[in-house]
Amino acid sequence: MDRTQGIEALQSRQTPWDFVIIGGGATGLGCAVDAAARGYDTLLLEMHDFAKATSSRSTKLVHGGVRYLEQGNVSLVFEALKERERLQDNAPHLVSNLPFVVPSYKWWEAPYYGIGMKVYDLLAGSQNFGRSQYLDRNQTIERLPTVETDGLRGGILYFDGQFDDTRLAVNMAQTADEQGGVLLNYMKATDLKKTNGAVDGVVAECQETGATFDIEARSVINATGIFTDTIRQMDDPSAGTTLRPSRGTHIVLDKSFLPGDSAIMVPKTDDGRVLFAIPWHDRVVVGTTEAEVDEVSMEPTPGHEELDFLLTHAQRYLAKDPGPEDVRSVYAGIRPLVAPPGSNGDTSDISREHQLNVSDSGLVTISGGKWTTYRKMAEDTIDRAARHAELARRPSQTDDLRLHGWHQNPEQFGDLALYGADAEALGGLMEEHPHLQTPLDERLPIRAGQVVWAARHEMARTVEDVLARRTRCLLLDAQASIDVAPRVAELMAEERDLPPSWVDDQVEAFTEVARNYLMPSIPA
């Protein structure tokens, strides 16, 4: 995957693309994989970096959605459970089985939630990751050594999936590239082209050079997540808003707060939401919240009330009470929830099902949905867009399409397991150049070779791309990431033959972003 080659392919194109996809998050990348795998000429444009916004800020779960079951949305749960198994089959280096425990402190909780989990098992059928079971008090403590034991009666054990969202996004981009698609990050769609009122292309601007491109397409797909309405209104200035965005916030703690390999699921918090405490990359992720917002942003700032809420609930369920000083990083993302007409209730009640729309001018918009169902969303979108553009019918190939990096036993690669099949070549690079084996900071799981690999093979263009998305350092320890940014910039500059001024600019830009991931002082 090489950005320079992508620019050259864009410049040399003489005929319209079958599909131009705007947006490089989970949905857009999924559409690119699906379209390219069918043999369609496919171009994806992302104005920042792949998975920069919502898609990098999930709770790191591939799941059917226990909460949606309680809401009665059985069809969404059933679809998500099917997609969960497909994703584990197609990307076993990134998707793993995770045990969850629902601790019970009241007499009715175990039987009530136990029945729900049995229904979850039933819906999963042969695709189940493991059967749920009741745990007594001692078994619960064995699974969760640091759970709050005061009043603990027992728990319910069930199983779901866990993944690394941005590593999956990078592998999806690589897969689309391998299938013949062209993907460009830092390429912003600034306008839609029309002939006789029909959308037939886009105008794009390179965010690095300022160069503009007139791009022709048989179909344009709007897969921009939180910016869905921006593109819709580019098509039709009178178009109303369809999104009711909400902010979800997480905090990241040291592994000592939840040792072992089991997660905690709290089925009902003070505001009625589900809350998780999840082991992830030798840390503990606690989240999430639901705060309706008026404006969307690439870098939303967590509210003090949300952070206090997360700490309060973590203290309630963990014997070792975390304080603000224990938080390694905070992160927030905006959910692009699609609200039905006249909806004015709580955003947590809005369905996570996706919606597909074709405007009078032919702009195809896919919105809503969730990471787990990205493949099905993409399949539906390309089916609909191909029909509308009167392209030759070609069935989806992604049911069992192995994503880039697929490896049957990734665990053999140790701390490089997330790279899957690429781990061998990455390890070889570091063996060939021993200085690249050097860990950059004892607080972070990153070595110099990973920086070079990201710039050379994964289209990382900035320090933020490397520390936030090609690796997960920014989410694991914000301060350590700020400290290591100068060395990352130097390695990237050396790899790409960039001047010292680029290094200085990158360190400044990354530090500005990373400060939002530091735990702020919460007013008493």
Asked whether the beta carbons of 226 and 61 are under 8 A apart, the reply is no
pLDDT at 344 over 60: no
Asked whether the beta carbons of 282 and 445 are under 8 A apart, the reply is yes
Asked whether the beta carbons of 152 and 137 are under 8 A apart, the reply is yes
Classify domain 97-161+244-335 at the CATH topology level: D-Amino Acid Oxidase; Chain A, domain 2 (3.30.9)
pLDDT at 352 over 60: no
The per-residue pLDDT for 342 is 47
Weakest mean pLDDT among 25-29, 178-182, 240-244: 240-244
pLDDT at 349 over 50: no
Tell me which of 273 and 177 has the higher pLDDT.
Answer: 177
Number of C-beta neighbours around residue 194 at 10 A: 14
The residue whose two tokens read 């098509």 is 235
pLDDT at 304 over 60: yes
Phi, psi of 287 (to 5 degrees): 180, 170
Phi, psi of 335 (to 5 degrees): -85, 125
**Nearest to 386, CA basis, from 220, 252, 202:** 220
The residue whose two tokens read 């898609």 is 55
The bridge status of strand 154-163 relative to strand 182-184 is unpaired
Assigned token pair, 485:
């940014």
The per-residue pLDDT for 347 is 47
The per-residue pLDDT for 127 is 65
pLDDT band at 140 (very low <50, low <70, confident <90, very high): very high
Assigned token pair, 421:
């099949």
The per-residue pLDDT for 70 is 67
What's the CA gap between 490 and 197, in Å, rounded? 49
What's the CA gap between 39 and 430, in Å, rounded? 36
Over residues 274-281, mean pLDDT:
95
The model's pLDDT over 115-138, given as tens digits with 9 standing for 90+, comes to 888 887 888 776 666 788 999 999
The per-residue pLDDT for 97 is 93
The per-residue pLDDT for 126 is 67
Over residues 34-40, mean pLDDT:
98
Asked whether the beta carbons of 30 and 7 are under 8 A apart, the reply is no
pLDDT band at 524 (very low <50, low <70, confident <90, very high): low
The residue whose two tokens read 């570091």 is 430
Weakest mean pLDDT among 20-34, 268-282, 320-334, 505-519: 268-282
Asked whether the beta carbons of 93 and 410 are under 8 A apart, the reply is yes
pLDDT band at 366 (very low <50, low <70, confident <90, very high): very high
The residue whose two tokens read 């600034």 is 190
The per-residue pLDDT for 272 is 77
Establish how many alpha carbons lie within 13 A of residue 305's alpha carbon, considering only the half-sphere containing its beta carbon. Answer: 7
The per-residue pLDDT for 79 is 86
Asked whether the beta carbons of 275 and 286 are under 8 A apart, the reply is yes
> What element of type H or E holds 13?
none
Cis peptide before 288 (omega within 30 of 0): yes
What's the CA gap between 60 and 454, in Å, rounded? 21
DSSP 8-class letter at 466: I
pLDDT at 345 over 70: no
**Nearest to 367, CA basis, from 51, 18, 68, 23:** 23
Over residues 511-521, mean pLDDT:
95
**Nearest to 2, CA basis, from 208, 165, 185:** 185
**Nearest to 148, CA basis, from 275, 289, 278, 264:** 264
The bridge status of strand 291-292 relative to strand 246-254 is antiparallel
The per-residue pLDDT for 122 is 82
CA dihedral for 180, 184, 185, 187, sign (positive or negative): negative
CATH number of 3-54+167-241+348-388: 3.50.50.60
pLDDT band at 74 (very low <50, low <70, confident <90, very high): confident
pLDDT at 244 over 90: no
The model's pLDDT over 448-503, given as tens digits with 9 standing for 90+, comes to 999 999 999 999 999 999 999 999 999 999 999 999 999 999 999 999 999 999 99
Phi, psi of 284 (to 5 degrees): -125, 120
Bridge partner residues of 198 (DSSP): 195
**Nearest to 372, CA basis, from 77, 172, 102:** 77
Over residues 46-53, mean pLDDT:
98
Tell me the whole-structure pTM to 2 decimals. 0.95
The model's pLDDT over 425-450, given as tens digits with 9 standing for 90+, comes to 999 999 999 999 999 999 999 999 99
The residue whose two tokens read 């160069």 is 211
DSSP 8-class letter at 442: T
Q: How far is CA 14 from CA 148, 177, 235, 400, in A?
A: 65, 20, 25, 33
What's the CA gap between 166 and 270, in Å, rounded? 31
Percent of the chain with pLDDT over 90: 82
The bridge status of strand 212-222 relative to strand 17-22 is parallel
The model's pLDDT over 143-195, given as tens digits with 9 standing for 90+, comes to 999 999 999 999 999 999 999 999 999 999 999 999 999 999 999 999 999 99
Assigned token pair, 99:
């045990």
CATH number of 411-517: 1.10.8.870
Phi, psi of 515 (to 5 degrees): -60, -30
Average pLDDT value for the chain: 93
**Domain map (residue ranges) of the chain:** 3-54+167-241+348-388, 97-161+244-335, 411-517
